[in-house]
Structure 1
Amino acid sequence: MVYQVASTLAVKGDRLTAMIRQLAQLGKLPNGGVQRLAFSPEDCHARSLVRRWMVEAGMTVSIDEAGNMIGRYPGRAQDAPPLVTGSHIDTVPNAGHYDGTYGVLAGIEVVKTLSEQGRRLDHPIEVIVFADEERTMVGCKAIAGRLLPDPELYRSRDGEPIQACLERVGGDWDIIDHARRTPESIAAFVELHVEQGPVLAAEQKQIGVVTGIVGQRRYWITVEGQSSHAGTTPMPMRQDALVAASQVVLAISQVGNQPGDQVATVGRMDLHPNVPNSIPGRVEMSLDLRDLSSDRLDQLLAEIRQAIDKIAAATGTSISMAQRLDNEPAPANSHIQHAIAQVCQDLDLSYCHLPSRASHDAQEMSRVTDMGMIFVPSEGGISHSETEYTSPADCANGANVLLHTLIQLDQHYRSSKAARAVVQA
């Protein structure tokens, strides 16, 4: 089927910009940034405002057991599962105005645009505000049925039990498994997000068609040497943990700099005893490794382990690795990618395909349904900072791409259902 974008149907960019600016006042910091930690008073106030905007756009609003706020705009077909979009409105400390928030508010603006035109799709549209994306991802993990049973893993940033956090926003940890969605309950999920990186700006593209969300492996590496006096221990007789750790950092960098899309990062290092006149006896550091292929991640880890074994032998140290995180890659659905690209062509917007190297709610939603993502540029590639910025024009472009992608997907899944019915008959 060939889709044709209706040029007269477009979001109101100034209205979207106004919502972004108004929401940024909740949790505003003196430096111009925003801090709305999940389940904080600022987050709860923001939820109330977003709920009001959802209702004004023509949606009914509910809260599931995981604290996800779900706005639903009805469709024409009685039995059609919803097309779902959305993101999060909680932030990291000292955040910008756009990460997560933009995807939620653009979804509301899309629904408001359809509502003002008196237009409904066959499928309902749901806009979800996912709970605590920035820290535990409890909301999207609950929908995907991938929560671990230990509530201690989902405490808030300040240590408050998740049971109390969810109760505050209308959720319920004791029956949180009721939030789980089945593949039959969602037609597709499309998340609109700022890129949070420099690729679109560098390539001078207006839209990013996301090919998938990278898998992430995180390890804690411990280097054990021998602490002793910095002045009295001859150089050849030392087991300097920091010297060995430095070589490990360089080896990880070399692995990450091979041809390919992988990235490898040592972002934290703790030194013991960490005094000027003692040789470091123990160093602990993080390893963050990301790629779109699980097989590639396995290969890179094998190379890092091999390099570490050689470094340990050469320096007389002991080096161990303990896994802390294992998120599998989430490829974007090929049809959704094609629909996004087609809309860009119809709207005369430049675009390129690229992976997402950051985690998103879409990563967990891909375990439930067909998933796609749309990126818009982040000025300077900066995010998680008060200087994070995406222009009003780029925000409007992304919202229009989301609008028409949902319309195309509505036709696609309607046609697919009709085709399946013919085959079954």
Structure 2
Amino acid sequence: MTVATRPLIVNSDRLNRSIMELAEVGQLLNGGICRIAFSDEDRLARQRVQHWMREAGMSVRIDAAGNIIGHYAGKRDGAAALATGSHIDTVPVGGRYDGCLGVLAGLEVVRVLHENNLRLNHPIEVIVFTDEERSVIGSKAMAGEIKEGPEYYCRLNGQPIQPCLEKIGGNWSQIHTARRDRSQIAAFVELHVEQGGVLEHLKLPVGVVTGVVGQYRFAVDVIGRPNHAGTTPMDMRQDALVAAAHVVLAVNKIAVETPGNQVATVGYLNVSPNSTNTVPGRVDLRIDLRDLSQEHLEYLVERIQQELATIAAHTGTEITMRQTLHILPTLSASHIMGAIEQVCEEMGLKYIHIPSRAGHDAQEIGRITDMGMIFVPSRGGISHSELEYTSPEECTQGANVLLKTFLKLDQTYA
């Protein structure tokens, strides 16, 4: 029987059992998960996933960036792979689903094909990317985007990246060999929990991701003049914190009132000298700005710079803005979005088009090949927490959408 006529669905019990079993590695007393990249827990989880890949009939290799690549051969010689995957490392107190669902759903797709003795025209690759939560070094290396020296990837505890990669089978000196291209990966589709509350709020089971937003971060330095809080008249002050407050409100106003779907946040303030009876002399604050359009992001940055100049003149302070991060947006391929939409309609699942405002490995891989993403709901919009939850039914629906999307894409690519 051919793939086109055989109804295929994932094994829900097996998928969700795998999620629970992987969550046992690094489980905390509060129910959260701690699997920091390169830790003993991360290495144990990686071993477990590799074992499952081999059981599912996949060959497994580790590239120089430490990425685990499970390969399920296709029928067509020399065909580029249809790839999926995500990450299994976590933040210090993470949940069971962030990243892990994408890896294990990809594994389940291969398990279904393997147990039915089926091969697609294209090979399928399930990829576990290295250190998504902090450096995104795995997917950056695969996209050929490692531009920095090893010191850039030094761990928070000061440990160099070289021995970290060695512990998981990688090799910094050969990291350039991890680069892939379109001739090797025809398309990449990542299933992920939304990590936000839109789908739950709208009571929709699936989000068809339109792209992963670009991001700017800026360090803003506001310099005033510290002085005695009791003896300095209000009209003679150069209060850096007052100026900073205007900056916070201006950033929020620009994001709210400018047409579009941008988000802007000031989530960090450091006040000096931070004394109750002293007029603040200096404030360090940070701006996070995100949107799906690079052109629109540049427009917003220009608006913010104009506002800062006005605020500085009005408050008698000096305000400088220094870029600390710039990540280009990555748009989803329209034909992959179309395939996901068709699958949802065939399955009777309502969906919405939604941007991803969090970063994902798909953002980097989308720089070298066609990319798409599927979102399933996160209860309460909570992620990076022990309270992170996506129901077994929602995980299964997402995995079935992924499976059926691969079956469509297998006919799309030559």
* TM norm structure 2: 0.98
User: Is the deviation greater in 236-245 or in 22-31?
Assistant: 22-31
What residue number does 1:350 align with?
350
**Cα deviation 1:55-95 (Å, max 9, x = unaligned):** 11111110000000000001011110110000000011111
User: How big is the shift at 1:349?
Assistant: 1.0
Q: Answer with 255-264 or 394-403: which moved more.
A: 255-264
Work out the CA distance in 1 between the residues paired with 2:19 and 2:273: 47
Cα distance, 1:35–1:268 mapped onto 2, change above 3 Å: same
1:405 lines up with 2:405 in the alignment = yes
Whole-Å Cα distance in 1 between the matches of residues 103 and 76 of structure 2? 24
372-381 vs 7-16, greater mean Cα deviation? 7-16
Aligned to 1:271: 271
Q: CA deviation at 1:350?
A: 1.1
Aligned to 2:55: 56
CA distance in 1, matches of 2:148, 2:251: 34
Q: Distance in 1 between matches of 2:156 and 2:166?
A: 16
Q: Distance in 1 between matches of 2:5 and 2:223?
A: 64
- Report whether the alignment pairs 1:127 with 2:131: no
Cα distance in 1, alignment partners of residues 155 and 49 from structure 2: 22
**Partner AA of 2:170 in structure 1:** G
Aligned to 1:233: 232
- Please tell me the residue identity of whatever aligns with 1:268: Y
- Compute the RMSD of aligned alpha carbons: 1.1
State the secondary structure of the residue aligned to 1:233.
coil
Indicate conservation of the 8 Å contact 2:80/2:185, yes or no. yes
Give the partner amino acid of 2:303. Answer: E
1:89 aligns with 2:84: no
Contact 1:5 1:346 in 2 (8 A): no
Between stretches 268-277 and 123-132, larger displacement belongs to: 268-277
Cα separation, 2, equivalents of 1:39 and 1:255 = 40
How do 1:195-214 and structure 2 match up within 5 A? 195-214=194-213
2:383 is paired with a residue of what secondary structure? coil
Match of 2:174 in 1: 175
User: Paired residue for 2:338?
Assistant: 338
Number of the residue aligned with 2:30: 31
Equivalent positions of 1:233-382 (< 5 A) are: 233-258=232-257, 259-382=259-382
C-alpha distance in 1 between matches for 2:128 and 2:299: 36
2: CA distance, partners of 1:296 / 1:79: 40
* Cα deviations by residue, 1:326-374 (Å, 9 ceiling, x for unpaired): 1111000000000000000111111111111111000000111000000
8 Å Cα contact 2:80/2:182 also seen in 1: no
Report the CA distance between 1:40 and its aligned residue. 0.7
In the aligned structure 2, how far is the partner of 1:94 from the partner of 1:6? 44
Deviations 1:385-405 (A, max 9, x none): 110100000000000000010
Q: Which residue of 2 aligns with 1:9?
A: 8
2:190 is matched with: 191
Aligned partners of 1:225 and 1:317 also within 8 Å: yes
Contact 1:29 1:35 in 2 (8 A): yes
Moved over 6 A (4+): none
Unmatched segments (≥5 aa) in structure 1? 418-425
| Partner Cα distance (1:7, 1:121) in 2 | 13
Q: Which residue number in structure 2 is paired with residue 74 of structure 1?
A: 73
Aligned mates of 2:92, 2:5 — CA distance in 1: 41
Listed as ranges, the matches of 1:209-228 within 5 Å are: 209-228=208-227
Please give the alpha-carbon distance, in whole angstroms, between the structure 2 residues aligned to 1:157 and 1:20. 28
Structure 1 residues 187 and 32: CA distance shift in structure 2, 3 A? same
CA contact 1:5–1:404 (8 Å) conserved in 2: no
Deviations 1:220-260 (A, max 9, x none): 11100111111221111111100000000000000111231
Q: Distance in 2 between matches of 1:321 and 1:405?
A: 44
The one-letter amino acid of 1:157's match is L
Letter in 1 for 2:81: P
Q: 1:311 to 1:6 in 2, by over 3 A?
A: farther
In 1, are the aligned partners of 2:217 and 2:324 still within 8 Å (CA)? yes
Distance 1:296 1:7 in 2: 46
CA separation in 1, counterparts of 2:188 and 2:322? 34
Shift of 1:157: 3.2
**Aligned counterpart, 1:423:** none
Aligned length: 411
CA 1:5–1:404 in structure 2 vs 1: closer, same or farther (change >3 Å)?
Answer: farther
Q: What is the correspondence of 1:150-169 to structure 2 with a 5 Å cutoff?
A: 150-169=149-168
Deviates more, 1:20-29 or 1:134-143: 20-29
Contact 1:62 1:71 (8 Å CA) reproduced: yes
Over residues 19-64 of structure 1, what are the superposed CA-to-partner deviations in whole Å (9 max), with x where a residue is unaligned?
1111111111111111111101110010011111111111111000
The alignment status of 1:149 with 2:148, answered yes or no, reads yes
Query: What is the SS of the residue equivalent to 1:266?
Result: strand
